[in-house]
Amino acid sequence: MLSRTEVETLTVKAITEILEEDGDTPPPISGDATLPELGVSSLVFARVAIELEDEFGVDPLKDGPGTESEPWTVDDLVDTYVRALAEQGSR
């Protein structure tokens, strides 16, 4: 199973690459940065989710990112995948 650091590295890489593909220069990405602060629109979020599903082999976002009223942070996204990978590993 991947470590949290590995999941975080791959998540940041996916966000960075997709923003760069769109011609944006993303700011330095920290765990507490919200996705909107980084320029992650709903379309970019969907593309990141697809990339991470391909990378990790799990789709914890198939029902959407949740019902939280606060914008998601990078850490929230990483933690979602870490939990999904742990659940997948326990099956």
Q: Enter the pTM of the model.
A: 0.89
Considering the four listed CATH numbers 1.10.645.10, 1.20.1280.50, 1.10.1200.10, 3.40.50.20, the one that applies to the domain covering 4-89 is 1.10.1200.10
Q: What is the pLDDT along the chain (91 residues), one digit of tens a residue?
A: 899 999 999 999 999 999 999 998 989 999 999 999 999 999 999 999 999 999 999 999 887 666 555 679 999 999 999 999 999 886 6
Residues 6+ apart with CB under 8 A from 25: 19
DSSP code per residue over 63-82: T-S-S-SSPPBHHHHHHHHH
